Amino acid sequence: MNSSTYSRNRERVIAVAADLFARNGYHGTGIAELGKAVGLGRGALYHYIESKEALLYYISKTQVDSMNAQAEQALRSGLPPEALLREMARRLLHNIATHQAEWAVFFRDYSALTGERRDKVIAARERYEGYWRQALDRGVEAEVLRPTPRLLVKGILGMLNYTYLWFEPDGELSSDELADEFMDALLDGIRSDPR
């Protein structure tokens, strides 16, 4: 087996695991079940993955790392603060919309990770939150946004992250449109007559 076949098979094992974990929970999915779903015996399966927990780590970490890379790129892009926030919201909702199973696994089960893996995922997650705080801070420095409490970042991320539970890819709004609606509400408020 050459290395690209190995990578392809590994990616397939991870994708199937994400679907199974999303459907039946991390704790509710056995290695035997995963092997059956991908058509591999236990030994062959462990050729691709170190452990069930390593799978959970890989599923969670990949998406958070991807969002961190995208946030770093957006922060470097020179966009003005409002456009930057909108861009970060669009990228997050697009990623969630296209990796709904992975995000479901992450949000439901990342707390099953232990030791160094758990620490790394939490650190990556905090880094992402920090990028949102940077974007808000830039808006305050540019006098485009008012200073807001530190914890608001978690509220904004709750608004966006929670879409993993209900976003419908074929629904009334695209993920970009939804991100725009959410950012409109957040930027301008929902009063008819802004103060």
Residue with Cβ nearer a second copy (52 or 61): 52
CB 131 within 8 A of CB 68: yes
CA dist 122 and 129 (Å) reads 11
Phi-psi map region of 23: left, alpha, beta (phi>0 left; psi -120 to 50 alpha): alpha
Which range of residues in 54-62, 72-80, 114-122, 181-189 is near a second copy by CB under 8 A? 181-189
Task: Enumerate residues 27-66 that contact a second copy by CB under 8 A.
Answer: 27-28
**Which of 3, 115, 119 has its CA nearest to residue 51?**
115
Q: Is 94 in the site for a second copy (CB under 8 A)?
A: no
Residue 20, C-beta contacts closer than 8 angstroms, at least 6 positions apart: 29, 33, 34, 37
Q: Token digits for 97?
A: 């919309």
Binding a second copy (rule: CB under 8 A), the pick from 112, 117, 119, 135 is 112
Q: Kindly tell me which residue out of 39, 41, 80, 189 binds a second copy, with binding defined by CB under 8 A.
A: 189
Interface pick for a second copy out of 24, 51, 77, 114 (rule CB under 8 A): 24
Q: How many residues bind a second copy (CB under 8 A)?
A: 47
| 173 belongs to the binding site for a second copy (CB under 8 A) | yes
